[in-house]
């Protein structure tokens, strides 16, 4: 299954500057693994040493924050959009 992954500015050194790339996989975990095969090192930026999502990264599959769904096991249906976004933004009142 093919999905589109939006890459934040600070990770575009891994994607030759591209803001959007495609990846294969039926779950977010598989998508990140495939992403890392094509853009070596990118997964280690998103996941910590224990393989969990880093504390300051938010990942969305379509419009859903995966922390609300199944985390790395969240299904990524064909044609889905995955967004990786730094969590630091926030704090508007």
Partner 1 sequence: MSVLTSGDHPDTAPGATANGANAAAVDLGPATALSCRECGERFPLGPIFACTSCFGPLEIAYDFPADGPEALRARIAAGPNNIWRYAPLLPVPADVAEHPNLNPGCTPLVRADRLAAELGITGELHIKDDSGNPTHSFKDRVVANAVEAARAFGFTTLSCSSTGNLAGAVGAAAARAGLRSCVFIPHDLEQGKVVMAAVYGGDLVAIEGTYDDVNRFCSELIGDPIGEGWGFVNVNLRPYYAEGSKTLAYEICEQLGWKLPDQLVIPIASGSQLTKIDKGLKELIQLGLVEDRPYRIFGAQAEGCSPVSRAFKDGHDVVRPVKPDTIAKSLAIGNPADGPYVLDIARRTGGAVEDVNDEQIVAAIRLLARTEGIFAETAGGVTVGVTRKLLAAGVLDPSATTVVLNTGDGLKTLDAVAGTTGPSATIRPNLDSFREAGLA
Interface contacts to partner 1, rule CB under 8 A: 6-10, 13, 19, 45-46, 54-58, 60, 63, 65, 67-68, 83, 85-93
Cα-based angle 22, 73, 53 (whole degrees, multiple of 5): 80
How far lies 6's CA from each of 43, 49, 55, 85, in Å?
Answer: 14, 23, 19, 9
CB of 6 to partner 1, least distance (A): 7
Instruction: Name the residue nearer to partner 1 (CB basis): 26 or 53.
Output: 53
Contact yes or no for 33/16 (Cβ under 8 A): no
Question: 18 vs 37, which CB is nearer to partner 1?
Answer: 18
Q: Which is nearer to partner 1, 26 or 62 (CB)?
A: 62
């Amino acid at each position: 299954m093919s999905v589109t992954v939006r890459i934040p500015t600070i990770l575009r050194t891994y994607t030759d500057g591209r803001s959007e790339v495609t990846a294969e996989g039926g779950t977010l975990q598989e998508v990140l693994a495939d992403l890392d095969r094509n853009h070596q090192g990118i997964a280690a930026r998103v996941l910590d040493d224990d393989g969990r999502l880093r504390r300051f990264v938010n990942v969305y599959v379509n419009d859903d924050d995966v922390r609300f769904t199944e985390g790395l096991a969240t299904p990524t249906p064909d044609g889905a959009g995955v967004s990786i976004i730094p969590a630091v933004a926030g704090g508007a009142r």
